[in-house]
Amino acid sequence: MVNSPARSRRTSFFWSQYGLAMLCVLSIVLASVLVVQRPSGAALQAPHLVIPASPVQPGGMTFDPITGDLFGTQPFSNSVFVIPKTSGTIFGQHVSANVEVTLDAATGLDSPADVVFDPQGNLYISNAGFSDSITVIGRSDTTVFGQSVSANVAVSLTAATNTITPVGMAFDSHGNLFVEGQNSDGWLSVVAAADGNLFGQGVTANHTTRLTAMTGVNDNSTSVVIDAAGDVLVGLGDSVRILPASTGTRYNTALTANVATDVAGTTPTGTSPANVVIGMAMNAAGDLFYVNQGDATVGVVPGPTTTSIYGQSVSPNVATVLTTTTSGLGLPMGAAIDTDGNFFVGDTVFKGNSPFLYVIAATSTTVFGQTFPANVMTGWTSSALLHFPAGVTSDNQGNVFVIDHALGEVIVYPSRTGSLFGQDVTAGVPVALNASASPQLNSGISIDAEGNLFLADDTNNEVRVLPRTSGTLFGQSMNANSLTVLNAATGLSSPTSLAFDPNGNLFIGNMSGGTQVTVLPAVSGTIYGQSVVANTSVALAALSTIGRASAMAFDPQGNLVILDQDGPPSAWVLPATTGTFFGQAVTANTVTEFQILSNVETATAVMFDAVGNLYYASVSQNSNSSVGETISILSKNSGTFYGQSVTPNVPTVLVSGNSDIFTRGMTLDPQGNLFFTSLSGLWELDGPRVAPVPAVTVATLAATGTPLFLGTGVGLLLLLLGGVVMTRSRRKAFSSR
C-alpha cells in the first residue's frame, strides 16, 4: 500500500526536509488568550462546495479492488478524492466517470495519510494528525474487527488503539491490518483478524499489537506493502526495510525470518542523492516500486524473474530507477498500480498546468478517459476548473471571481446569465474567464467600484487590470476586456494582497523586499498623514514597522486591518481617525496592534462587510490538541448572523471544522452569501448574514466611491495550508458529483 505523511504534531523528516517548504510555513501559535463566543443555541450552518478543485497534493493512493476506482488522500484539505472508473454510486454518492470528486462519506478526517481497502471493499483511512486514529467506511452494513459499521458512514476503528501518528497501511491475505507509525519511536503495529502468531509474536483478534521484530522504524517512515510471501516492507526516510515472514533470499537480500533488515540497493551510496522513500506499491509480478522524493523519481526492485519494466531492461532483484520518471515530477508522493499493471504516481501542484497525477501505462491504453502511450510517464488531465484556489472577490451584481494560482487565471461563478468581460456566461455555471488568461502566478484579487478586476502577480512583481470598459485607470489608457499591466504599480516585491480604500486608492501588500504595503493613489493629497501624488506608487510610511502584509481589508470608514505573517503581533490596524476600533482606543495614522485579532492563532484571511463588521478565518488548536479552522465575525452591533446571535466586539464563530485548513480568501455578495476559498475549492455559506441588510446599489457606489467589497484577504499565501460538502444553493450549484 502507499502513503504520504500528513501534517503532524511530531517532528517529521518529511515535513522538515521535503514538505511544502515553498507553500507552507506551519507555525500554529499556541498563545491564544482570546475568548471566542461559540454558538450556544442554534447549530452552525454548513457551507457547501460550489466549485471543487483538483487535488493539490495527493497523499496515499489505492484502487478499489471491486470497482477499479482510484482513491487518494488530501492531507492538507482533510479529505479523500476519488476518480471513478464508471458513472454510478460510490459510498452513497453519485459520481460521473473520469471526473474526480471529494468523497462525501469521508468526514471527520485529521491529516489523512493513507487509504486502503479490505477484501470486502470497506475503506480505511489513517489520520496522522492529532486524532491518532483510523477511519473506516463500510461498503455495506457489516462488522469489521468486531465492530458494527454502517454503509457509507465514517467511524473510528475502535480496534486500532495506541496508533501514534498512523501513516502507511496494508492488509495481508489473512485480513490482518498492518499500520506504520511516523514518530520518534517509530513502530509497526497489526490489528489482528484472529488470535495467533505473527512474526514470532502472539496477537489477539480485534486488538492492536506492536510488532517488536520490526526494528529501525522511525519518524521518517511513511508506507507499507506486503508481498506474496507475507513479508512486510516499510518505506523509511532513506531506504526500504523488510520484515521477512520466512528465511531465504529475496530482493537480492539475505533474509532471516522475523529479523528486519534493509532491502539491498534502496539506501543511498556514493554520490547518489539521498533517498526519501514516500509511497510504495507492488504489482502482480512482485516488482516493488518506491517513490523517491529526494530526487523526484520512482525506483523499482524487480521481482525474481523480471527483466523488463515499462520497456526498460532491468536485472531481477536489483534496485534501479525508472528512467521515464527522471524528469517531470516535482514533489512526488503516493503511488498505486491498477489490475492492468498501469503505474500511478501523485505529484504536488506548485505552478502552471502541472498534473497532480501521472500514469505509466503498461500498454497503449485508455485510463480514466485519457489515452496513454505505453512506457512513458504522462500526466492525467483533470477536468476540474480550479487547481490552486487563492484570492476571491465579487462585484455588485453578485458574480464571484476566484484566482487559480496554478494557472494564473480567474474562474467566475456567475450570478446571472449574460456577458462578463465580453464573454457569455450562465448563472450558476462556473467558467474560466478567457480575458484573464495569463501564464503568471496571480494570487491577490480585488475589484474597484466600477467593476474593474485587479490581479496581483507575485512572480513578476506586477499588478494586472481587466477593465470592464475602455477608459483611463490610474493615468493609463486601457481597453475593455483586455488584461493589461498597471504601469503605475511599481516598487512591488511578491505582491499577494490587494485592497481599495473608500476613496479608490489601491493598496498592495508585499511579502518580501522590505516594503510592507505600497499605495497607488487615485488623486493627489494625503493618505494616513503622508503626501502622495496621483498615479504614483509609494511605500506607505505608516506601515514601515510591520512585517509582511499577507492580507488586508478596509472598513467603510477607511480603517485598514493588516494580517502580518511575521507576527506576533499577527494583526494590525491603521486608523483613519482617532477614536475606538472594536472597543480599542486608536490614534489616527498610527499603526497599532489589533489586539482582538492579533490574539487569534494564525489568522489567514480578513474582510469587512458594507456596514463595517469584520470577518476573519483562523487556525487554532483546542484543548484536545485538535487543529481546526473557523470563520468568525466581529460585529459592531448586536444581531443575528447566519443564524448565530452576536455581541458587539466579541468574536462569534460562523463556520467551524477541522477540514480544509487555511482559508485563502473571503467575499460577500449583495445577498449576504459568504464565499470563501480553500485548497478544496470555492465554498458558500448561504445568507442572509443579518436582517435587515441595507441595499447597496451601483448608484450608491458611484456616488461614494466605496467598493462594495472593501477588501479581500488572500490568506497567508505561504501558509497554504476546508468541511461539510452539500449541494444546495440559491443558484444551481456546480458539482461534479
Q: Is residue 476 in some structural domain?
A: yes
Q: Are residues 349 and 413 in the same domain?
A: no
Query: 432-459 burial, b for 16+ CB within 10 Å, e for fewer?
Result: bbebbebebbbbbbbbbbbbbbbbbbbe
- Cα(600)–Cα(262) distance, integer angstroms: 46
Q: Are residues 354 and 404 in the same domain?
A: no
Q: Are residues 481 and 350 in the same domain?
A: no
Q: Are residues 393 and 375 in the same domain?
A: no
Quote the pTM value.
Answer: 0.75
Q: Are residues 360 and 405 in the same domain?
A: no
The three-state (H, E, C) secondary structure of 86-144, written as one string: CCEEECCEEECCCCCEECCCCCCCCCEEEEEECCCCCEEEEECCCCCEEEEEECCCEEE
Q: Is residue 721 in some structural domain?
A: no
Angle at the Cα of 608 from the Cα atoms of 607 and 610, rounded to 5 degrees? 145
Number of separate domains in the chain = 2
- Cα(636)–Cα(698) distance, integer angstroms: 25
- Starting at the earlier edge strand, list the strands of the sheet with 506-510: 495-500, 506-510, 517-520, 538-539
Contact 166, 222 (CB under 8 A): no
The predicted structure's pLDDT at residue 494: 87
Burial class (CB in 10 A: 0-12, 13-18, 19+), 164: middle
Q: Is residue 442 in some structural domain?
A: yes
The predicted structure's pLDDT at residue 313: 97
C-alpha cell at 518: 505600497
The domain of 694 spans: 389-704
Contacts of 224 (CB under 8 A, 6+ apart): 1, 3, 168, 169, 170, 178, 179, 180, 188, 232, 233, 234, 235, 280
| Interstrand relation of 101-102 and 79-83 (parallel, antiparallel or unpaired) | antiparallel
CATH number of residue 554's parent domain:
2.120.10.30
Residue type, 89: T
Contact 700, 713 (CB under 8 A): no
Residue carrying the nine cell digits 498505486 = 336
Q: Is residue 554 in some structural domain?
A: yes
- Cα(439)–Cα(295) distance, integer angstroms: 27
Cα separations (Å) of 639 from 94, 466, 708? Answer: 39, 37, 21
- Cα(656)–Cα(711) distance, integer angstroms: 22
Q: Is residue 167 in some structural domain?
A: yes
- Cα(511)–Cα(565) distance, integer angstroms: 8
Which residues of 211-314 form beta strands (DSSP E)?
223-226, 232-235, 240-243, 248-250, 253-255, 261-262, 277-282, 288-292, 297-301, 308-309, 312-313
Last residue of a domain, one of 354, 379, 404: 379
Q: Are residues 375 and 394 in the same domain?
A: no
Contact 377, 325 (CB under 8 A): yes
Angle at the Cα of 253 from the Cα atoms of 252 and 259, rounded to 5 degrees? 155
Q: Are residues 208 and 160 in the same domain?
A: yes
Q: Is residue 77 in some structural domain?
A: yes
Contacts of 266 (CB under 8 A, 6+ apart): 239, 240, 275, 277, 290, 299, 301, 319
Q: Is residue 157 in some structural domain?
A: yes
Q: Are residues 299 and 401 in the same domain?
A: no
Neighbours of 426 (CB within 10 A): 13
Q: Residue 613: how many CA atoms within 13 Å on its side-chain side?
A: 25
Contact 76, 59 (CB under 8 A): no
Enumerate residue ranges in the chain where pLDDT < 70: 1-42, 183-186, 218-221, 237, 267-275, 349-353, 438-442, 513-514, 567, 601, 620-628, 657-662, 688-737
Q: Are residues 663 and 700 in the same domain?
A: yes
- Cα(215)–Cα(211) distance, integer angstroms: 9
Q: Are residues 580 and 682 in the same domain?
A: yes
Q: Are residues 629 and 651 in the same domain?
A: yes
Closest CA to 97 of 389, 431, 366: 366
Neighbours of 419 (CB within 10 A): 10
Give the tens place of pLDDT for each residue, 317-339. 898 999 999 888 888 889 999 99
Q: Are residues 77 and 144 in the same domain?
A: yes
Q: Is residue 49 in some structural domain?
A: no
Closest CA to 419 of 409, 427, 411: 427
Helix (H, G, I), strand (E, B) or coil at 677: strand
C-alpha cell at 606: 480578513
